[in-house]
Amino acid sequence: MARRFSSEELRALRNDVAIRTVIGSVLELPCKKVEGVFRFLCPLCSEFQTGVHPEENLARCFRCQRNFNTIELVIAARQLDFVSSVKLLQKYLPGNGRSTAVASDDDRLRRNERCSAVESVATVLSRCLTQF
Protein backbone atom coordinates (compact mmCIF):
# COMPACT_ATOMS: atom_id res chain seq x y z
CA MET A 1 0.00 0.00 0.00
CA ALA A 2 1.32 3.45 -0.91
CA ARG A 3 2.21 5.76 1.95
CA ARG A 4 0.20 8.97 2.12
CA PHE A 5 1.85 12.21 3.17
CA SER A 6 0.04 15.15 4.67
CA SER A 7 -0.05 18.41 2.75
CA GLU A 8 1.98 19.97 5.61
CA GLU A 9 4.72 17.32 5.25
CA LEU A 10 4.93 17.95 1.50
CA ARG A 11 4.91 21.73 1.97
CA ALA A 12 7.82 21.43 4.41
CA LEU A 13 9.82 19.34 1.93
CA ARG A 14 9.18 21.79 -0.90
CA ASN A 15 9.91 24.90 1.16
CA ASP A 16 12.20 24.03 4.08
CA VAL A 17 14.85 21.89 2.38
CA ALA A 18 17.03 24.34 0.45
CA ILE A 19 17.02 23.69 -3.31
CA ARG A 20 20.78 24.37 -3.53
CA THR A 21 21.37 21.76 -0.81
CA VAL A 22 19.34 19.25 -2.82
CA ILE A 23 21.30 20.07 -5.99
CA GLY A 24 24.77 20.10 -4.44
CA SER A 25 24.71 17.80 -1.43
CA VAL A 26 21.78 15.41 -1.83
CA LEU A 27 21.90 14.76 -5.59
CA GLU A 28 25.51 15.88 -6.13
CA LEU A 29 24.64 17.32 -9.52
CA PRO A 30 27.50 19.08 -11.27
CA CYS A 31 27.18 22.78 -10.52
CA LYS A 32 29.14 25.98 -11.01
CA LYS A 33 28.88 29.75 -10.87
CA VAL A 34 28.79 31.51 -14.21
CA GLU A 35 29.12 35.29 -14.03
CA GLY A 36 28.08 35.10 -10.38
CA VAL A 37 24.97 32.99 -11.09
CA PHE A 38 24.59 29.50 -9.62
CA ARG A 39 24.09 26.91 -12.39
CA PHE A 40 23.57 23.16 -12.23
CA LEU A 41 23.42 20.39 -14.80
CA CYS A 42 19.78 19.75 -15.69
CA PRO A 43 18.98 16.08 -15.05
CA LEU A 44 16.66 16.01 -18.09
CA CYS A 45 18.56 17.74 -20.90
CA SER A 46 22.12 17.77 -19.45
CA GLU A 47 22.61 21.50 -20.05
CA PHE A 48 23.88 24.19 -17.69
CA GLN A 49 21.21 26.69 -18.84
CA THR A 50 19.66 26.61 -15.39
CA GLY A 51 19.02 28.81 -12.43
CA VAL A 52 17.67 28.74 -8.91
CA HIS A 53 15.34 31.10 -7.09
CA PRO A 54 16.33 30.65 -3.42
CA GLU A 55 13.51 32.81 -2.08
CA GLU A 56 10.92 30.61 -3.80
CA ASN A 57 13.06 27.46 -3.37
CA LEU A 58 12.62 26.54 -7.03
CA ALA A 59 14.97 25.62 -9.87
CA ARG A 60 14.45 26.08 -13.60
CA CYS A 61 16.04 24.78 -16.77
CA PHE A 62 15.76 27.40 -19.49
CA ARG A 63 16.76 24.92 -22.19
CA CYS A 64 14.01 22.34 -21.63
CA GLN A 65 11.66 24.87 -20.00
CA ARG A 66 11.11 22.81 -16.82
CA ASN A 67 10.56 24.12 -13.31
CA PHE A 68 11.53 21.96 -10.35
CA ASN A 69 10.68 21.99 -6.69
CA THR A 70 12.80 19.82 -4.41
CA ILE A 71 10.62 16.71 -4.83
CA GLU A 72 10.39 17.01 -8.62
CA LEU A 73 14.15 17.50 -8.87
CA VAL A 74 14.85 14.30 -6.91
CA ILE A 75 12.36 12.38 -9.06
CA ALA A 76 14.02 13.64 -12.26
CA ALA A 77 17.65 13.23 -11.16
CA ARG A 78 17.43 9.90 -9.36
CA GLN A 79 14.54 8.45 -11.39
CA LEU A 80 12.73 7.56 -8.18
CA ASP A 81 9.01 7.36 -7.60
CA PHE A 82 7.22 10.03 -5.57
CA VAL A 83 7.19 8.09 -2.26
CA SER A 84 10.90 7.21 -2.45
CA SER A 85 11.79 10.82 -3.29
CA VAL A 86 9.80 12.13 -0.33
CA LYS A 87 11.44 9.63 2.03
CA LEU A 88 14.88 10.65 0.80
CA LEU A 89 14.18 14.35 1.32
CA GLN A 90 12.71 13.83 4.81
CA LYS A 91 16.25 13.13 6.04
CA TYR A 92 17.20 16.71 5.13
CA LEU A 93 14.41 18.55 6.91
CA PRO A 94 15.74 21.01 9.48
CA GLY A 95 15.90 19.30 12.86
CA ASN A 96 16.47 15.80 11.44
CA GLY A 97 20.19 15.82 12.22
CA ARG A 98 21.43 16.74 8.75
CA SER A 99 22.61 20.19 7.85
CA THR A 100 20.68 22.03 5.20
CA ALA A 101 23.29 24.77 5.02
CA VAL A 102 24.44 25.90 1.62
CA ALA A 103 28.02 26.48 2.83
CA SER A 104 29.08 22.98 1.81
CA ASP A 105 27.69 23.63 -1.68
CA ASP A 106 29.68 26.87 -1.88
CA ASP A 107 32.82 25.03 -0.77
CA ARG A 108 32.24 22.43 -3.48
CA LEU A 109 31.75 25.19 -6.06
CA ARG A 110 35.03 26.80 -5.04
CA ARG A 111 36.83 23.46 -5.39
CA ASN A 112 35.26 22.96 -8.85
CA GLU A 113 36.31 26.48 -9.87
CA ARG A 114 39.89 25.82 -8.71
CA CYS A 115 39.93 22.55 -10.66
CA SER A 116 38.62 24.34 -13.76
CA ALA A 117 41.28 27.03 -13.38
CA VAL A 118 44.03 24.40 -13.08
CA GLU A 119 42.67 22.59 -16.14
CA SER A 120 42.64 25.88 -18.08
CA VAL A 121 46.25 26.62 -17.15
CA ALA A 122 47.26 23.09 -18.11
CA THR A 123 45.54 23.47 -21.48
CA VAL A 124 47.31 26.77 -22.19
CA LEU A 125 50.68 25.31 -21.15
CA SER A 126 50.21 22.25 -23.34
CA ARG A 127 49.37 24.48 -26.33
CA CYS A 128 52.47 26.58 -25.69
CA LEU A 129 54.68 23.50 -25.43
CA THR A 130 53.37 22.01 -28.68
CA GLN A 131 54.31 25.20 -30.52
CA PHE A 132 58.02 24.71 -29.70
Domain count of the fold of the chain: 1
Q: Could you give the strand order of the β-sheet that contains 66-68, starting from the edge strand earlier in sequence? A: 50-53, 58-61, 66-68
What tens digit of pLDDT does each residue of 5-27 get?
999 999 999 999 999 999 999 99
Q: Residue 2 domain-assigned?
A: no
Boundaries of domain holding 85: 7-131
CATH number at residue 111: 3.90.580.10
Q: What is the DSSP letter of 91?
A: T
pLDDT higher than 50, residue 45: yes
- Residues above pLDDT 90, as percent of the chain: 65
Q: 108 pLDDT band (50/70/90 cuts)?
A: low
Q: Which amino acid is at 89?
A: L
Q: Which amino acid is at 131?
A: Q
Global pTM reads 0.71
Which pLDDT belongs to residue 57?
96
Q: Residue 18 domain-assigned?
A: yes
What tens digit of pLDDT does each residue of 61-86 get?
999 999 999 999 999 999 999 999 99
Q: Residue 89 domain-assigned?
A: yes
Q: Residue 1 domain-assigned?
A: no
Q: Residue 87 domain-assigned?
A: yes
